Amino acid sequence: MAQENNRKVSFEGDIKFTGIKLKTPEVYAAGFKAVKVALQHTFKEMGVSRSLPTLSHMNQKDGFDCPGCAWPDPEKPSKLGEYCENGAKALAEEATLKQVDINFFEKYSLEELSKWSDFEIGKSGRIETPMILEENCTHYKPISWEESFNVIAEELKKLNSPNEAVFYTSGRSSNEAAFLYGLFARAFGTNNMPDCSNMCHESSGVALVETLGIGKGSVKLEDFEDAEVVMVIGQNPGTNHPRMLSALEKCKNNGGHVVSINPLEEAGLTRFKNPQEVNGLLFSGTALTDIHLPVKINEDVALLKLIMKKLALLDTSEPVFDHDFINKYTAGYESFLAHLNQFSEEELLKRCGVKESLINQTVALLAKKKKIIVCWAMGLTQHKNGVENIKECVNLLLLKGSLGKPGAGTCPVRGHSNVQGDRSVGIMHFVDKELNNNIKKVFNFSAPQEEGYDTVKAIEAMHENKAKVFIALGGNFVSAASDTEYTANALQKCNLTVHISTKLNRSHLIPGKRALILPTLGRSEQDKKDNTIRFLTVENSMGKVHRTKGILPPSSTNLKSEPEIVGGIANAYFNGNHSVNWSDLSENYDLIREKMGAVIPSFNKVSKKSEGTGYYLPNNVRELDFSKLPQGKAQFSNCNLPSHELSENEFLLMSIRSHDQFNTTIYGLNDRYRGIYNERRIVMINENDMGKFQLKKLDKVNLISNYDGVTRIARQFLVIPYKIPKGNLAAYFPETNVLIPHNQFADKSYTPISKSVKVTIEKCS
Ligand SMILES: Nc1nc2c(c(=O)[nH]1)N[C@H]1C(S)=C(S)[C@@H](COP(=O)(O)OP(=O)(O)OC[C@H]3O[C@@H](n4cnc5c(=O)[nH]c(N)nc54)[C@H](O)[C@@H]3O)O[C@H]1N2
Ligand SMILES: Nc1nc2c(c(=O)[nH]1)N[C@H]1C(S)=C(S)[C@@H](COP(=O)(O)OP(=O)(O)OC[C@H]3O[C@@H](n4cnc5c(=O)[nH]c(N)nc54)[C@H](O)[C@@H]3O)O[C@H]1N2
Ligand SMILES: [Mo]
């Protein structure tokens, strides 16, 4: 129970089991089954007649961008549709016919709703109209748009300093909405702009800026066709980026190889039956992974070091490194080699837990190849040494000269569909001097010069009453952030919490003293003004900016677009007394784009350039231009091995996604590829460890973490024997977020340690 402001609301819902069924994990991804499941979800939520025409517009040039992941669209989309099973589920979730209306909020008190599971809360439907929860009240009540903007303005004006407000962003917003939101936060006077990427790819951003000079990846989609080796590290594309499997298939068909590094042998990486091709639907599909390296959780640095040590030894007899590239473009090679020499092969082998024969196969493959792509996601970023994990991947690419040429490069696979764009247009807690100078020139006000709060610091500030108004442009902060109870208490201490959302979620139920829910249009919906449908723009995982235009009629007539809402708040706050014309900007997206281009040069003329499949933003790595880095060179890094000091009975737990969820939105209860059905409160464990701790299949256990003398408990999980390295556990997020202390995060990036939480297991009595 979280009860900071006298409301007894539950931050995790009532804990109950839903009826587990186990099958053997699947050996291939997609195929007919994926098409079937996709259609089941859309038919059920959206109705049959709306489903197929809408799906056919997803990720098409004249259509809307998938509200799921950020994987790019090919130049020539498949005739069978350019969407995947989980994209269809994301659409079904947004375009559901169910509604959370005024009657719903009259019927259920906050306390009652908070007992529901995240799955039940999410399935209640789209929010129909703005709602307010007044101080000491138990139920949300309807409020007009105008009044809700005035409430926000009133609470913002009461603050002692602009730094008492926090402006959170989740990565679904468009470039236009995010630009306007960032502009308002700065005009208001704060850089307190935490965003979901703080919990996600921030480690990638930090590592890539320091080593290569840009916080984004360097590959383009076409590079997968040319790549000789694609390494997929700490990422589960079959579930989280299913359209990436088509790119891997192309690589394989052109004679390339795929190496996967993951504690789990994820089905999606084993074999792929492409649902967009007849061969995939009818025949056995394509085997994807050539070599699977089942690394222990957070031992990727040890494994990569061992691979590079063995390559370095080969290099002494015949060149396997690209010495011309190293000489011309890099700094720190000698020091890197000397550092690598300090580690013994035996120690590295023992730590990573992978069979030496598999490592030798990988070394033999890499030795002969020059065009290598390294892809990664949360399996690398969400550890204490998240930044160094990624730097070690960069080291490998530098040794092989695998940057700035076709078929090679870095590929951090982004999460939310526009998380990268949001950052490009100014959502960040740190200070960008050039951006601030340009804001001064274009809008004639001075943006604040002091670094703001990221996610971790925002939670602490709310806890300490240093931040009192929390506004969220999308997302589900309480369930996404770590240390759920602490975060819930932090939000409840605020004077006002505001959520601009499409669907009901737990954060709406853990309110400040007052709370607002402002319902907004989803990606798939028409954003109409004067009878024309407006378009917005987004940036995909590979730095390409393109348009997105909804096609469905909005789920309610009382929704506003995100730019309209942000503009509405700004207008109410400034009331005409500001150098920016907020009301013009909120109505006219072309004007936002014009100003965005004036402030951020790479977005100049975005209205025109974003047509069709869009345009690439500049990327110095593609040009091999490292002039902004020390000595004008790409940087080798000396990374150390992480240390966990586990005691005899402690495990490392990774909190991962099931096949039926998008972050905190739970689509369903099945993790089909892993063979786990109808239950989320499960923990995957190695059979040897089950023997060691006298655990039986489906035993009920509590997971317990203990950091700095504080005990945190995630209750009631069913034990599932699984092919996972000894000493490692896997369970789903967000249920396990209660275990992760708010002050345990990656060095430099502050990304919570969601993939390496030290826990013990206790049998429930
Ligand atoms: N359908 C769907 N799509 C999504 C999302 C979703 O929830 N659902 N979320 C979106 C978002 S925001 C993001 S950030 C991405 C997330 O995409 P992923 O990063 O693929 O998501 P996770 O489930 O967190 O998976 C992490 C993978 O890393 C592995 N792993 C964990 N720890 C380690 C480790 O120490 N070393 C290595 N080598 N591997 C490890 C796990 O076994 C798992 O396969 O997906 C995006 N797309
Ligand atoms: N333990 C653990 N914790 C994690 C992770 C993990 O792997 N393990 N992953 C982390 C990662 S990678 C991320 S990115 C964060 C995600 O953190 P968030 O982005 O905050 O969370 P989401 O669940 O994606 O947010 C879902 C909500 O967004 C709203 N929404 C959906 N579409 C729209 C839209 O178009 N506009 C608006 N305004 N609102 C919309 C809906 O109301 C929905 O309930 O969680 C992080 N937390
Ligand atoms: Mo993410």
| Average pLDDT over every residue of 744-764 | 98
User: Does residue 80 carry a pLDDT above 70?
Assistant: no
**What is the spatial distance between Cα 414 and Cα 69, in angstroms, rounded to a whole number?**
7
Pocket test for ligand 2, best of 119, 126, 170 (most atoms within 8 A of CB): 170
Retrieve residue 553's tokens. Answer: 């009629």
pLDDT tens, 700-732? 999 999 999 999 999 999 999 999 999 999 999
555 touches ligand 2 (CB under 6 Å): no
Chain position carrying tokens 């409301």: 7
Burial class (CB in 10 A: 0-12, 13-18, 19+), 337: middle
Helices (H), 540-666: 562-574, 582-587, 589-599, 606-609
Q: How far apart are CA 454 and CA 612, in angstroms?
A: 35
Contact criterion met (CB below 8 Å) for 610 and 547? yes
Residue 3 clears pLDDT 80, i.e. is over it: no
- CA neighbours closer than 13 Å in the CB half-sphere of residue 714: 29
Report d(CA 61, CA 67) in Å as an integer: 15
Report which bound ligand comes closest to the CA of 181: 2
The larger pLDDT score, comparing residue 73 to residue 101, is at: 101
Whether 552 and 50 have beta carbons less than 8 Å apart is answered as yes
Between the CA of 114 and the centroid of ligand 3 the distance, in Å, is 24
Ligand 1 centroid, distance to 440 Cα (angstroms): 40
Which of the four pLDDT bands, split at 50, 70 and 90, describes residue 38?
confident
Q: Stretch 176-202: mean pLDDT, rounded?
A: 98
The overall average pLDDT reported for the chain is 95
- Token look-up 């069709």 returns 612
Element housing 260 (H / E): strand 257-261
Ligand 2 centroid from CA 196, angstroms: 7
Is any atom of ligand 2 closer than 6 Å to the C-beta of 731?
Answer: no
What is d(CA 362, CA 504) in angstroms, rounded to the nearest whole number? 47
Q: What is the per-residue pLDDT across 210-225, written as a single tens digit (0 to 9) for each?
A: 999 999 999 999 999 9
At 576 the three-state DSSP class reads: coil
Query: Which-ligand-closest: CA of 754?
Result: 2
**What is the spatial distance between Cα 624 and Cα 622, in angstroms, rounded to a whole number?**
6
Residues linked to residue 491 through DSSP beta bridges, in sequence order:
none
Ligand 2 contacts CB of residue 500 (under 6 A): yes
201 vs 421: CA distance, rounded Å: 13
Please work out whether the CB of residue 295 comes within 6 Å of at least one atom of ligand 1: yes
Residue of 507, 502, 504, 505 whose CA lies nearest to 470: 507
Helices assigned H by DSSP within 400-445:
419-424, 433-443
CA of 169 to the centre of ligand 2 (A): 9
User: Is residue 752 within 6 Å of ligand 1 at its C-beta?
Assistant: no
Instruction: Give the Cα separation of 460 and 2 in Å (integer).
Output: 16
Give the pLDDT mean for 633-640: 98
- Compute and round to an integer the Cα radius of gyration of the chain: 25
- Of residues 47 and 115, the one with the higher pLDDT is 115
Q: How far is the CA of 240 from the centre of ligand 1 (A)?
A: 7
* 673 in contact with ligand 2, CB cutoff 6 A: no
Q: Which amino acid is at 148?
A: S
- Any idea what DSSP says for residue 640? P
At 27 the pLDDT is 85
Verify whether ligand 2 is closer than 6 Å to residue 664 (CB atom). Answer: yes
**Length of the chain (residues):** 765
Between the CA of 199 and the centroid of ligand 3 the distance, in Å, is: 7
User: Which residues crowd ion ligand 3, with CB under 5 Å?
Assistant: 200, 415
94 CA → ligand 2 middle, Å: 13
Complete DSSP assignment for 512-547: -SEEEEEEB--TTB--EETTEE--EEEE-TTSEEEE
pLDDT in tens, 609-625: 999 889 999 999 999 99
Tens of pLDDT, residue by residue over 456-488, are 999 999 999 999 999 999 999 999 999 999 999
Q: How far apart are CA 494 and CA 505, in angstroms?
A: 18
378 within ligand 2 shell (Cβ under 6 A): yes
Residue nearest to atom 25 of ligand 2 (CA): 475
Q: What pLDDT, on the 0 to 100 scale, is given for residue 52? A: 82
pTM: 0.97
**How many angstroms separate the CA atoms of 657 and 731, rounded?**
8
Number of the ligand closest to the Cα of 91: 2
Protein residue with its CA nearest to atom 27 in ligand 1? 235
Pocket test for ligand 2, best of 199, 491, 516 (most atoms within 8 A of CB): 199
Neighbours of 613 (CB within 10 A): 17
- Structural contact between residues 449 and 144, judged by C-beta atoms closer than 8 angstroms: no
Three-state DSSP class for residue 515: strand
